[in-house]
Structure 1
Amino acid sequence: MNHVVHSNGSVQNLNGVLEEKLDELRALIGKAEGDPLRIVGIGAGAWGSVFTALLQESYGHLRDKVLIRIWRRPGRSVDRATAEHLFEVINSREDVLRRLIRRCAYLKYVEARLGDRILHADVILKDGFCLNMIDTPLCPLKVVTNLQEAVWDADIVINGLPSTETREVFEEISRYWKERITMPIIISLAKGVEAELEPEPRIITPTQMINRATGVPMENILYLGGPNIASEIYNKEYANARICGAEKWRKPLAKFLRQPHFVVWDNGDLVTHEVMGGLKNVYAIGAGMVAALTNESATSKSVYFAHCTSEMIFITHLLTEEPEKLAGPLLADTYVTLLKGRNAWYGQKLAKGELSLEMGDSIKGKGMIQGVSAVKAFYELLSQSSISLLHPDKNKPVAPVELCPILKMLYRILITREFTVQAILQALRDETMNDPRDRIEIAQTHVFYRPALLGQKP
């Protein structure tokens, strides 16, 4: 039987603990007895699907108190090669095989393997298969393909969409919420940013996009960030996360989401954590390039890591008044993304010639590579002369991006395409590049903080 051992030695049934946490959240939201708490995940990428599946596994058995569903667009077909691989995964896992047979769902995968049937992403998701993460079967999920049906009465909405799709989808959602008396709670998992250059340069994050699109107050919108790799978290690898936002919701939600293998802390600095979650994707792409181009040279990768972390530290001094508070979360999230994230994978594939920029940044089997749009956003933002700072060596005003050579080169490789992927090594070997230590020292000894970049007043 599942149980929890408390520090005082007492033992409590895990199901009882979960029901108690659910009851506390229901009471805070104001749910009446007999009216289930409605939680819906929007977007069925790897992390969005895993997050919804974790909730389903923990609380799904309490059907009279909570209803957990996930929305994804209908109609996306599964190609023959993916269907064949999926069939191999199913037959390699006895628990999954038994579950499908018990649910009378196995035959369609046999027919798809033989080429006699076309599977669709929303159908296989009901059986626990995320198209972006076929190798990690999830628990069965309640899938909705009609967006209005999914969200109109939701109490908690999980934004599992890429940042590049968040605005558009939530603008549609806002039409279904016009008659609502109370607004839902929204937890955004998206890691990406946009740059808004007029009337003054600033970063727009997914939570801000949601706020603008729906009118849901920012106190009801939270961000949950890593470090995390979706498949590892579902497989019960120990992980930490932070839920950031207004105290009214972040503390009870941290408690509600916390599991023995998934410890969730809370923090009030929503926008800064969200921006940093997008920033690490920028440098992860370059890390993948360097790894592939140097045949996984540990020395070359460490040189790159020194330069990219010094640039990130420099940028955090522009974006936050207390950058030292971000050092742990930012470096941890960067570390895991460089090791195993999809953005580093994308950089590797580009460098090996297995992917090309012409293929776009939405990759089959991986989903959206959010670091590409983040490169563009950070470069455009930090190129503005209106936020110039005094160059410590040249003693003249320069745009902040001039002190970020890795970011500049990634922009010229990925966005303007002036250079090939190999140019990332040229940037590392440029003898005129500042020592990473110098860049950190510059950031620490000069007042660079620009609160307007996050839309905050000085």
Structure 2
Amino acid sequence: MNPQKIAVLGPGSWGTALSQVLNDNGHDVRIWGNNPEQIAEINEKHTNTRYFKEVVLDEKIKAYDDLEDALANVNAILFVVPTKVTRLVAKQVAQVLKHKVHVLHASKGLEQGTHERISCILEEEIPAEYRDEIVVVSGPSHAEETIVRDITLISAASNNHDEAKYAQQLLSNDYFRLYSNTDVIGVETAGALKNIIAVGAGALHGLGFGDNAKAAIITRGLTEITRLGVAMGAKPLTYSGLSGVGDLIVTGTSVHSRNWRAGDALGRGEKLEDVERNMGMIIEGVSTTKVAYELAQQLHIDMPITETIYKVLYEGMDARAGILDIMRRETREENEFSN
């Protein structure tokens, strides 16, 4: 692939890591953000110490706080902003974009209120004449590992296979590999919903439970994720892949995961508002729990783990009492999909 001009929207940990991947592949990378001090740090010191204390970025990576400048003559835009501001940023992009581009996103969440997936938001806010089909970049990936060029394998999903192939060629290299996929609904819902289970897995750890409980919540959590995703139109097989079970494992078992760390703190008795303040970063699993709970009610999908986490987060239920409620549920057939 010839070198491309890429605007990465969002200078957080994952946006920064993906910017380095793109730079390593010889592309012209522009990171856009709205924090002038952070932008200045990237340009002047070539660091982003809020997320990576000891990483020095290539000086060719440039940061912008002016969106129109960042988007000038780019071939592609990669959204890596929190779910709650995706619509706002997409509206801003639509106002200043002057030519057709490839549009990708690497965020994981569902919008509160509308319950919409991120690709749907981007489709609604960016006119079709300015973009091709959206590409979803998702899978088992800690920014802390990708930034040091540890091996990472993820998925690129789009309704247009050529667009998925474009993302593969754009990002793949010796340490970062993408597999194409056409199940956008499956890849997006898997990436969003696994954050809920990661909060629960962290809470189990904080409460003092061991590996048996960890295995239980991951496997039964995957069942819930698949159940809801299929009801929304996804393909069941997607949840057995990188964006499904792969991402669930890496997020539900690691201290790198802010969702796991948030759950761990809740399990140790900290209050949610304190956890969110101390984290200093968006905990997507908290807002996604509310959306998933509402969707499950709407679609009549049984999601006991998600429902329990919702009650802990939003109704003040004691986490240990919630676990007992699940354990005392009527026994079921394991492979009975509707249960």
Report the TM-score when normalising by structure 2.
Answer: 0.89
Question: How far apart, CA to CA, are the structure 1 residues paired with 2:221 and 2:163?
Answer: 34
Q: Find the counterpart in structure 2 of residue 442 from structure 1.
A: 337
Q: Say whether 1:69 aligns with 2:30.
A: yes
In structure 1, C-alpha distance between the alignment counterparts of 2:109 and 2:56, rounded to whole Å: 25
Cα contact 1:405–1:427 (8 A) shared by 2: no
Q: Tell me the CA shift for residue 322 of structure 1.
A: 3.3
SS of 1:254's partner is helix
Q: Which residue of 2 aligns with 1:99?
A: none
Whole-angstrom distance in 2 between the partners of 1:337 and 1:323: 20
Query: Contact 2:226/2:239 (CA < 8 Å) preserved in 1?
Result: no
Deviation of residue 38 (structure 1)?
A: 2.3
The structural deviation recorded for 1:158 is 1.0
Unaligned runs of 5+ in 1: 1-20, 24-36, 60-65, 76-119, 198-202, 388-398, 445-458
1:248 deviates by 2.4
DSSP-derived class of the 1:317 partner = helix
Within 5 Å, which residues of 2 pair with 1:226-245?
226-245=139-158
Counterpart pick for 1:192 among 109, 128, 138: 109
Kept after mapping to 2: 8 A contact 1:72/1:144: yes
**Cα shift readout 1:383-412 (whole Å, capped 9, x = no counterpart):** 12xx3xxxxxxxxxxx22xx2111111111
Aligned equivalent of 2:272: 357
Give identity over the alignment, percent.
Answer: 21
Summarize deviations over 1:28-70 as a string: whole Å, max 9, x none: xxxxxxxxx42111001111110011212331xxxxxx53110
CA RMSD of aligned residues (A): 2.3
Give 1:322's aligned residue.
Answer: 235
Residue in structure 1 matched with residue 12 of structure 2 by the alignment: 45
In 2: Cα distance, 1:259 partner to 1:235 partner: 14
Q: CA deviation at 1:432?
A: 2.0
Greater mean deviation of Cα atoms: 303-312 or 344-353: 303-312
- Counterpart of 2:170 in structure 1 is 256
In the alignment, does 2:55 pair up with 1:137?
yes
Is residue 25–residue 171 contact of structure 2 (8 Å, CA) maintained in 1? no
Q: 1:432 aligns with which of 323, 326, 329?
A: 329
1:132 is displaced (CA, Å) by: 4.4
Report if the CA contact (8 A) 2:259-2:285 is conserved.
yes
- Secondary structure at the residue paired with 1:135? coil
Gaps of 5+ in 2: none
Matches within 5 A, 1:417-428: 417-428=315-326
Give the conservation status (yes or no) of the 8 Å contact 2:103–2:132. Answer: no
Rounded Cα–Cα distance in structure 2 between residues aligned with 1:344 and 1:274: 19
- Once the two structures are superposed, the pairs formed by residues 23-172 of structure 1 within 5 Å of their partners are 37-59=4-26, 66-75=27-36, 120-126=37-43, 127-140=45-58, 141-172=61-92
Give the structure 2 partner of residue 206 of structure 1: 118
Q: Which protein is bigger by CA-based radius of gyration?
A: 1
The 1:163–1:363 alpha-carbon spacing in structure 2 relative to 1, beyond 3 Å, is farther
Aligned length: 331
1:225-276 deviations in Å (ceiling 9; x for gaps): 1111111122222111111111222213312311111111111122321111
Output the TM-score relative to the length of structure 1. Answer: 0.67
Aligned to 2:210: 297
**Pair 1:22 & 2:9 matched:** no
Q: Is the 8 A contact 1:257 1:264 kept in 2?
A: yes
Report the AA paired with residue 266 of structure 2. Answer: L
